[in-house]
Amino acid sequence: GCSVAFTMQQMQQMLEEKCPFCRKPVPTEEENIRYRMKRIEANDPVAIRVEGDKQETKGDYQKAFEYYTRAAELGDVEAHFMLAGLYHNGQGVEEDRVQKIHHLEEAAIGGHPSARCGLGFQEYDNGNIERAVKHWIIAATQGYDGSIKKLMDEFRSGIVSKDDLAAALRAHQAAVDATKSPQRKAAEEYSSD
């Protein structure tokens, strides 16, 4: 949100394009690559994961797996989530349900709401409905919309109580409200144009 608001300000005032964080001129693509590689050499887990994303986008799942694994070993929660996806789809690695769940658990423990919701689906598929609902409630309290949809489905089926659904909805709304700002609103309006 803030970076989009900064970019909008630059455009409106006809200013030179600069990085919203360091305020230096925006680097070229070559400079970006050089900087990312420097950060990778310094064992920056985010830079390593981003390189994994780039490799996955190119279709090189083996390289993506290697970068995600390295980033996950350095504690990057998103890298664990991405590894779960590779294990699920058998991309760059053989399909492995145990490893998929391991990486979903690591990501969920680190606060990744999509991973938490995914664990809910795993538990649901295993017949552990109560545990599935607990995972979805936790994901809802983190502001994850997909878990609210699933909780509502289970409420209609009689599995989730009215009180549990209401508490999850309140917690979800509180999490969503906590992320609101005038800059984010401006960014949303800007990106919808």
Reported pTM? 0.82
Average pLDDT along the chain: 90
pLDDT at res. 193: 65
Each as own residue / partner, the long-range contacts of residues 177-186 (CB below 8 Å, 24 or more positions apart, any chain) are: 178/143, 179/143, 181/1, 181/2, 183/1, 183/2, 183/4, 183/5, 184/1, 185/1, 186/1, 186/4, 186/5, 186/8
pLDDT band, residue 25 (cuts 50/70/90):
confident
Q: How far apart are CA 107 and CA 82, in angstroms?
A: 9
Under the banding of pLDDT at 50, 70 and 90, the label for residue 183 is: confident
